[in-house]
Structure 1
Amino acid sequence: MSDEIRVVSWNAQGRAHDILAEFAPHVLLRQGLTGADAEGDKALWAEANALGGLVPFMTTLTARRSRRSGVMIDPRLFEVTARTDNDLPWKPICHVQVRRRGLPRTLHLVSAHLTHHDPDLRMLESRRLTVIADRGHTALIGIDAASYPHRTADEISLRLRWDAVEDRVHYQHRTVVDRHGSRVSDTRPSTILTGGRRPVFTDLAHHAGTVLGQDGSLAATASLGRTDQGPPQRTDIAVHTPDLTPALLSLKVIDTQAVREHSDHAVLVARYDLATVDRVLSTAR
């Protein structure tokens, strides 16, 4: 049995087990599961089986939600206690509750894809995600945030200058009007989830980059193959409740040619110390 828990979050359309198998995830937080429901969820199960027999869950399909989110769990490490969709106006959130065998505390695992075209809906979705941490719950969430980090000083991506962005639709989707009447990058989901003096969640990449000294964790994650949306930015994030922060060993952004052949999003790979996670989950709440 491994002495760590590997958590992978990725937005990639279609099956991508050949890339994901390299990371041997115990938890996979997937966005972009296009077509995975066909023939009785055949593609979903094929990916889960190719990754060592993970148990897969996926959001319910509706006409406007073809790119579904999913969570896959290693049953050797976790037992599933509940599974729900948190329904929202555009995309539902896949929410699975698990426990380590013999330990009392529930771990909430979530995969979410925020609305790509509406900043106001992204605010609603972000606030809905904070509910998962209510009542002292322990949670870990992988998100395609379709928006930008609010602590810009720590980011290492090239600055996004909207006057140089050619994609006019992208400009409308990803900017908001500030109090001075200017169009600026939408950072509100990041502020809601990880901002303030007592944030609801910790941004894994920010903690890894600024506290653990892992500069590469703050690398760009999206628009990797586009030239009309400005330089690539860090729009995919993983967050967890602060009680899990002592267990985090690393957060890596995987942006290889093989990854780019599957998606214009990088892969996020987080490693947690298993013994520390178990200590967190040993206390009932």
Structure 2
Amino acid sequence: MTPSRGTSKSAQLTVLSWNLERNGAGDPAQRLRAHKLLASLNPHLVLRQEMWGSETSGNQIMYELEDVLGLRGWLGAQASTAVFADPGTFQPLREWPVVGPMWAQPPTALTFRFKSAGTGSMPLVVVSYHLGYASATNRLAEAEWLSTFADKTWTTRDGETVRVPALLAGDNNSYPAPITDDDVPLPDLKAIADRPHRLHRSFVGPGGRRVMDTRPDEALRVAGLEDVARYWSTASIDGKPALSRTVNACDTHGPDSRIDRIYATTDLLGAVTGVDVIEVPTTMSDHHIVRMRLDAKRLTNILDW
């Protein structure tokens, strides 16, 4: 693994979330190109989905990806998701192997200490997740279980028990609830040509009418987790690109959509300094990269009790 990049208190932290299609579709050269692209963005945290195959041959692919990224990695159950972190910036304190009973693709969750905030600082929970593609009912239950990661506690130096900030990112296989006109519009159900996919992306709403699935987004926001792209789009005068598509329109799945999102508890929003989407060729992946930047000094002030 390449040397840690570390973080000064005046630095900007980069967090990336990416569902790399089938982890490079079994093509080692494609997987290498994709992770070199991630490495070129100098991330401190990478939250990956579709890590399939990384567990084979004694996690050989995971070690390969650690080396390319220059980050330490943790692979979740069923090689569905992973978290990579810069060891000079984030100190792992614990893993959360029990993530709930109904996951089609289990998340990877850890508690980290942000080293710049000091040894007595409050930690934060980091989760990479992938909500199931085929069942809106199960996705809602998965989102409800994700909310438990916004409910972890820590005892401060003064003996006070407080909730720990949380940062979650992944492929939601569902849509953000339409709150702002700048967001990618919800597709019309009939604009999705693939009939099974119509079922996968919708549910029966009030009055028996089938509507597009926004319930995971609504559930996470009820639980105090904010969509950082939506936050940044209104907090910054140049924030509109934060709401860019993360999946391109296609014949079967319908129009452009913002399926991939980063969520944070509200206490972390003050450290956000940018959110955008880095588009990749569709020959590399069917999802684009979501990038968030955090100000290290602001994050230190939030965590240093």
Identity of aligned residues (%): 29
Write the distance in 2 (CA, Å) between the matches of 1:24 and 1:45.
18
Task: State how many pairs are aligned.
Answer: 271
| SS of equivalent to 1:262 | coil
- Say if 2:149 is the partner of 1:132: yes
Write the distance in 1 (CA, Å) between the matches of 2:81 and 2:51.
6
Alignment of 1:238-277 (within 5 A): 238-257=262-281, 260-277=282-299
Q: C-alpha offsets along residues 180-236 of structure 1, whole Å, 9 cap, x if unaligned?
A: 2111100000000114xxx511111001112223111101112x2622221110111
| SS of equivalent to 1:270 | strand
Query: Structure 2: 5+ residue runs without aligned partners?
Result: 1-6, 24-30, 154-162
Give 1:84's aligned amino acid: W
Alignment of 1:47-62 (within 5 A): 47-52=65-70, 54-61=71-78
Give 2:259's aligned amino acid: T
Q: Conserved in 1, the CA contact under 8 Å of 2:271 and 2:296?
A: yes
Give the TM-score normalised by structure 2: 0.85
Segments ≥4 residues shifted beyond 6 Å:
none
Q: CA deviation at 1:164?
A: 2.6
In structure 2, relative to structure 1, the CA distance for the partners of 1:158 and 1:243 (3 Å cut) is closer
| Corresponding residue for residue 112 of structure 2 | 98
Give 1:226's aligned amino acid: C
Give the TM-score normalised by structure 1: 0.90
| Corresponding residue for residue 215 of structure 1 | 240
| SS of equivalent to 1:163 | helix
Alignment of 1:157-236 (within 5 A): 157-195=184-222, 200-213=224-237, 214-222=239-247, 224=248, 226-236=250-260
- Of stretches 144-153 and 178-187 in structure 1, the one that deviates more from structure 2 is 144-153
Of 69, 78, 94, the match for 2:90: 78
| SS of equivalent to 1:25 | coil
Query: Structure 1: 5+ residue runs without aligned partners?
Result: none
Q: Conserved in 1, the CA contact under 8 Å of 2:44 and 2:86?
A: yes
- Of stretches 208-217 and 273-282 in structure 1, the one that deviates more from structure 2 is 208-217
Q: Conserved in 1, the CA contact under 8 Å of 2:81 and 2:129?
A: yes
Write the distance in 2 (CA, Å) between the matches of 1:155 and 1:188.
20
| SS of equivalent to 1:105 | coil
| Corresponding residue for residue 143 of structure 1 | 170
Give 1:216's aligned amino acid: P
| SS of equivalent to 2:46 | strand
Write the distance in 1 (CA, Å) between the matches of 2:298 and 2:261.
22
Of 112, 118, 131, the match for 2:135: 118
